[in-house]
Structure 1
Amino acid sequence: MKIRTYYKIIITILVYFAFGGATTAQEKKANIIYILVDQWRASAFGFAGDPNANTPNLDRLAQESINFKNAVSVMPVCTPYRAALITGKYPTTTGMFLNDLHLPLTEYGLGDVLVDRGYTTAYIGKWHLDGHGRHAYIPPSRRRGFMYWKAAECDHDYDQSHYYTGNSDEKQFWDGYDTYAQTKDAQQYIAEQVGKEKPFALFISYGTPHFPYDAAPEVLKQNYPLADIILPENVPASMADEVRKEAQGYYAHCEALDNSIGELLASLDELGISDNTLIVFTSDHGEMLGGHGVRPRAKQVPLAESARVPMLLRYPPLHGKTGRVVETPITTPDIFPTIFGMLDLPIPATYEGDDLSRVLTENKEIQDRAALYMQLAPWEVGSEYGREYRAIKTSQYTYVRALDGPWLLFDDTNDPLQMNNLVANPAHEGLVTELDEHLWKLLIKLGDDFRPAQWYIDKWNLKPGAHGSIPYDKEGNLPSQSPLLTKGSS
């Protein structure tokens, strides 16, 4: 036996006993669990300083994770976010900028990407990318490579929430409050994967804390007496009663999610797979809850309450048990290029997002980084913020351009509630010019010359209804002549 081989065997044995078999765990690719919640804004956590939030499990996860504190939703609306996540592309490329659109089958879906990289795939919960109606059956051919499937297009009736599974078009219903039922199903799926040769990639897409807020568990709503809810200074006094009523159910939904995610993480520990499982926790967009006078339940707008999202990434082989805060901004199309870069997996050539994995693997910030986000067709028409926009988030600033020029500039470090718009301040004229040039560089790279909403609607032959969605009836079905059914949907 060669001396070098002898020493290699000895070192392997020593490492095995010193770290409890860690080398064995790393022979297999990392499992991936992507936890996606709906409408949970970045500020509404204990670890983010919200005095109302009761999130002990996610606070602990934040301590153990890489926390992207400047994460934004590329477009703070459900379907556009999900399309950008699943394709790695911007809404200006795919045309996925309204709710209830169908993502064309020509797009390289994330489930297929993961299968091609050796993963077993699973999807549980809200999908919102099929565009055939919110209650329509989604056959395997339209599931984008996700093998295990207990999902529905969209359902926020949390105590009577439906899903489809397998090859059956028979509508099934989750048992009770769906957040709890979906968590149990995820735990069972994970347990069944332990010991199998292939790694798994599981997406858990919860519908909460999206409204209706009065649908939150009553026992948890009691933890948030209206008189005890503390509102931020940017909520007008005239809206206080309305906002507190909505916030009560919102925070109760959040607490239910926190409890569920705590149970999920405990399962990983019990199964002995925490150390080789990448956990991502994030949201598709935020919730205004009256901030800046914008109605509760609103998103879409460029303000922090709407556009900023939580983004926690825990992977012990990379950073151990101790987390850290990352200042480098990140937007939705960057997420999976970054994950694949970190895990040394091939990044699809079709992806438009940036690979930021060196921020994770080399523990280095990207100082001049700006994350792009946008709104092509505004929903809040009649509101001060109901405009088309293109925006960038840097580690310190939020800069927003409307069709008629620079619109908003906030120093997020010194003005986190964004109450002081600096865009017209002569002292910041040079900064506005600098950020505007940075924004245009990103838009030019995408081939986006920032046109009015109708141009994009006409380009993709869309017919949006109220609130920026493609119309559907009370049963969640699309009209038979919907243009979506001709958009690569067969």
Structure 2
Amino acid sequence: MIMSRRIVLGLLGILLVLPSAVRAERPNIVFIYTDDQAPTATGFSGNPDLKTPNIDRLAASGIVIQNAFTVTPVCSPSRAGLVTGRYSTEYGILDWIHPQAEADLGLDPEAVTWMKLLQQDGYATCLSGKWHLGTADRYHPTVFGYDEFMGIRSGGCPPKDPVLEVDGEDVKQEGFTVDLVTDYALDFMTRKKDEPFLVSVHYREPHAAWLPNREEDWEPYRDLDPELPKPVHPDLDVERVKKMTREYYASVASVDRNVGRILDLLDELKLSENTIVVYTSDHGYHNGHHSLWFKGNAHWMLKELPEQQWDQIGRKRRPNLYDQSLRVPTIIRWPEALPQGQTILPTMSNLDWFPTLLSLANIEVPEGLNLRGRDFTPMLKGLRIGWPNDLYAEYSMRHGAFVDMRCWRTPQWKLVVDFANSGRDELYDLQNDPGEFENLIESDDPSVQTVFQELRSKILHKLEELNDPLLDRIQVENKSE
């Protein structure tokens, strides 16, 4: 009986220890998310003017996803897509959320997020930085799966001495915002080093305003004569673009320096091997590309604005779904389980992070969730599968202009239809015109018109699949014609 009792007690001891041992083997996740970062705004992308040694270090030791896109090139919709794995129109978030004019707007509190599923599976979770999915308490980040939050619920704050929410209270801080956001993330990682954790580091940088920033970040760019994107429009305000580019690059440098702090702490805590580090952005950005500045809601950067062509779009605006707005710099590193120093080419979107991160953490997606994103874990592990490389993108701009753009992109062709402004359709042959300079929408080539019809049909089918409210308006307009 004594021996049997010892065996039973030993088994009980194993059972008590086993859950924590299993948890300890789960990967930590550090999700670094910048704001307004152009796909060309890193060193590893080949930019000759910009030095990002720490981001490049991450790229060299991880996997670069070369064809990574957002499905909506503006802040709040992109963030909604990231956390839910669904299109933002499905939640009624069409444009960036204006904190004063749209105080009641935010992400549906019933939405299932991947950070909530990680939290339920035993992960300690933290968001440090920008939220921008609703300012009311019912939209607070802690509702969606974060144990802790430090940062801003709205869309922006100054780059220095900001007011940040800490422990539920708005507190005036001293220091640079990018550093303060990192400080909190590092503290959280240190406190939670003995349990699986998710820390989302959502920088406001390199969103404007870019200055002031630390002298070490500004000094390399103070006198830079940056190379401009080609071709250069004859009426481009060159000096203004160059000045803004210098300041923008300095802001990127601030992010890079703090990425180094994160990577160094992971090394110091001996967590690097079993920590998934993701680096990406909410959307791309124009730094003079197409003579524009900003993202999907871009402004012209010409000395004289073009004539207004559409009643619902002012002269200074150029709403767009160019690749420069949609493509995002993206890296993932997990030394223990994924190849290092590689680049993968399949097309992925921000919606794909939901199933992919859960898959990497060995957590099942709940049945009936109807995610729009797809698990691209097999490609990360070097497998070749029949992955569809098409991308569906959308942007219903409501601040500064009124557009309803929908896009279907393949590796060769891209169609953008603006259902709110007749005559704004765009068709590009990406294989021969990757810069999207020649709009073929009026081409009389029968093969081009066949492509147009095929892609437009795909867009309409997608509207039906998503039950997009835009479809009702289109049907009413078609009946009235």
Normalising to structure 2: TM-score of the pair? 0.79
How much does 1:235 deviate?
4.3
Which position in structure 1 is the counterpart of 2:237?
Answer: 239
Supply the distance in 1 between the matched residues of 2:201 and 2:431 (Cα, whole angstroms): 32
Q: Deviations over 1:23-67 (max 9, x none)?
A: x89962111111010000112111112222211111221222222
Which position in structure 1 is the counterpart of 2:124?
Answer: 120
Paired residues of 2:84 and 2:354 also in contact (CA < 8 A):
no
Q: Does 1:421 pair with 2:404?
A: no
Which position in structure 1 is the counterpart of 2:247?
Answer: 249
Q: Does 1:364 pair with 2:361?
A: no
Listed as ranges, the matches of 1:449-464 within 5 Å are 450-451=470-471
Q: Deviations over 1:93-149 (max 9, x none)?
A: 1111122231121222443222122211111011111233xxxx7896854221122
Paired residues of 2:159 and 2:176 also in contact (CA < 8 A):
yes
Which position in structure 1 is the counterpart of 2:29?
Answer: 32
Match of 2:462 among 419, 433, 442: 442
Q: Say if 1:68 and 1:125 are closer, same or farther in 2 by CA, change over 3 A.
A: same
Q: Say if 1:142 and 1:29 are closer, same or farther in 2 by CA, change over 3 A.
A: closer
Supply the distance in 1 between the matched residues of 2:291 and 2:400 (Cα, whole angstroms): 12
Supply the distance in 2 between the matched residues of 1:228 and 1:141 (Cα, whole angstroms): 41
How much does 1:213 deviate?
2.5
Supply the distance in 2 between the matched residues of 1:267 and 1:25 (Cα, whole angstroms): 23
Gaps of at least 5 residues in structure 2 are 1-20, 98-104, 299-318, 476-481
Which position in structure 1 is the counterpart of 2:347?
Answer: 329
How much does 1:319 deviate?
2.1
How much does 1:240 deviate?
1.2
How much does 1:246 deviate?
0.9
Listed as ranges, the matches of 1:169-318 within 5 Å are 169=169, 171-196=170-195, 199-225=196-222, 228-237=225-234, 238-296=236-294, 298-299=297-298, 301-318=320-337
Gaps of at least 5 residues in structure 1 are 1-23, 456-490
How much does 1:227 deviate?
5.6
Which position in structure 2 is the counterpart of 1:465?
Answer: none
Match of 2:93 among 89, 93, 96: 96
Which position in structure 1 is the counterpart of 2:157?
Answer: 156
How much does 1:287 deviate?
1.9
How much does 1:375 deviate?
0.8
Q: Deviations over 1:362-393 (max 9, x none)?
A: 52254532122111235453xxxx73211133
Q: Say if 1:329 and 1:379 are closer, same or farther in 2 by CA, change over 3 A.
A: farther
Paired residues of 1:156 and 1:211 also in contact (CA < 8 A):
no
Identity over the aligned pairs, expressed in percent?
Answer: 27
Paired residues of 2:151 and 2:165 also in contact (CA < 8 A):
yes
Supply the distance in 2 between the matched residues of 1:361 and 1:312 (Cα, whole angstroms): 14
| SS of equivalent to 2:203 | strand
How much does 1:293 deviate?
2.6
Which position in structure 2 is the counterpart of 1:487?
Answer: none
Supply the distance in 1 between the matched residues of 2:151 and 2:53 (Cα, whole angstroms): 28
Supply the distance in 2 between the matched residues of 1:331 and 1:358 (Cα, whole angstroms): 15
Normalising to structure 1: TM-score of the pair? 0.78
Which position in structure 2 is the counterpart of 1:400?
Answer: 416
